[in-house]
Amino acid sequence: MDIVSDPAVMQRAALEARRLGRRIALVPTMGNLHEGHLALIREARRRADLLAVSIFVNPTQFGPNEDLGRYPRTPEADLAACRREGVDWVFTPSAESMYGIQAAVWVEVEGLGKKLCGRSRPIHFRGVATVVLKLFNVCQPHVAVFGWKDAQQFLLLRRMVEGLNVPVEMVGVETVREPDGLALSSRNRYLAPEERKQAVELSRALREAQAAAESGRATTGAELVEIVRKRIERVASARIDYVEAVSMRDLEPIGAIEPGATLLALAAFFGTTRLIDNARL
């Protein structure tokens, strides 16, 4: 396994591999790898000859009052996990080498980036789209793998790829959950024990709404939202940021549920920890 921190070195190696006809997969991460990331890595491993995992806590996707400083960094454990999974390249750039003098060049996916999480995190998706396009240019993947846990991120990046004719196949992998249903996230470790217990209600609320849709008891987006809100509002330590039922095409709120194209998404705070989760219907 090669650990590469210089973008120019990484790009040269990737271009050379391409010249030799090798197929490259990329899993972009911010490190602190957990089973959710490992599911992405395993999916990517199956899809290519060479597998790159990037580990970069991208400063441009954090707002001024967000958790950039305390975001968990576990480089040794991450490298050990990558080794175990048969990763070929771990790309670990510094912020200076990624942005240097170019920080004023941004990729903005208008519309999608300002909805749902974009409302309370106004610069977040501009930072995500910019860094992912840069990672694509550096690592030259044929295929890139992301988690449906960050559904808005995945839909927005897919739109970026379509809109800018980026020749990368985009693959989404289902959310990996704790046995009680809580979606895995690096931010779960911020939760106090009581908050952790109560956070399980997010996935239970989504499941209840999903079951109501499947049985025909809920037929509209508003009914789905009502089911989820009611359940989370009963949780003492939770403060809802948003609950929305939207179309996966444009992230606009839906009237009637559109089977196969509906995203029920939420964000809620437990203390200062903001968690997200979603269900696709």
Q: Which residues bind ligand PAF (CB under 6 A)?
A: 28-30, 58, 61, 128, 131-132, 150, 153
Nearest-approach distance from CB 83 to ligand PAF, in angstroms: 20
Kindly state the smallest distance separating residue 41's Cβ from ligand PAF, in Å: 13
The two three-digit tokens of residue 240, written as one number: 């809802």
Nearer to ligand PAF, 143 or 209 (CB): 143
CA 268 to chain centre: 16
> Is 37 part of the annotated catalytic residue set?
yes
CB-wise, 29 or 140, nearer to ligand PAF? 29
In the bound state with ligand PAF, the residue whose beta carbon lies nearer, of 186 and 237, is 186
In the complex, minimum distance from the CB of residue 153 to ligand PAF, in angstroms, rounded to a whole number: 6
Read off φ and ψ for residue 146, nearest 5 degrees.
Answer: -130, 165
Which is closer to ligand PAF, CB of 53 or CB of 246? 53
- 75: enclosing H helix or E strand: helix 75-84
How many whole angstroms separate alpha carbon 218 and alpha carbon 211? 9
Shortest CB 170 distance to ligand PAF, Å: 12
Q: Return d(Cα 88, Cα 260) in angstroms, integer.
A: 36
Query: What is the C-alpha separation between 150 and 135, in angstroms, rounded?
Result: 18
The dihedral region occupied by 104, where left means phi > 0, alpha psi between -120 and 50, and beta the remainder, is alpha
Residue 238: strand pairing partners? 270
Of the pair 172, 221, the CB lying nearest ligand PAF is at 172
Three-state secondary structure readout of 213-253: HHHCCCCEHHHHHHHHHHHHHCCCCEEEEEEEEEECCCCCE
Which residues on adjacent β-strands are paired with residue 268?
Answer: 240, 275
Catalytic residues: 37
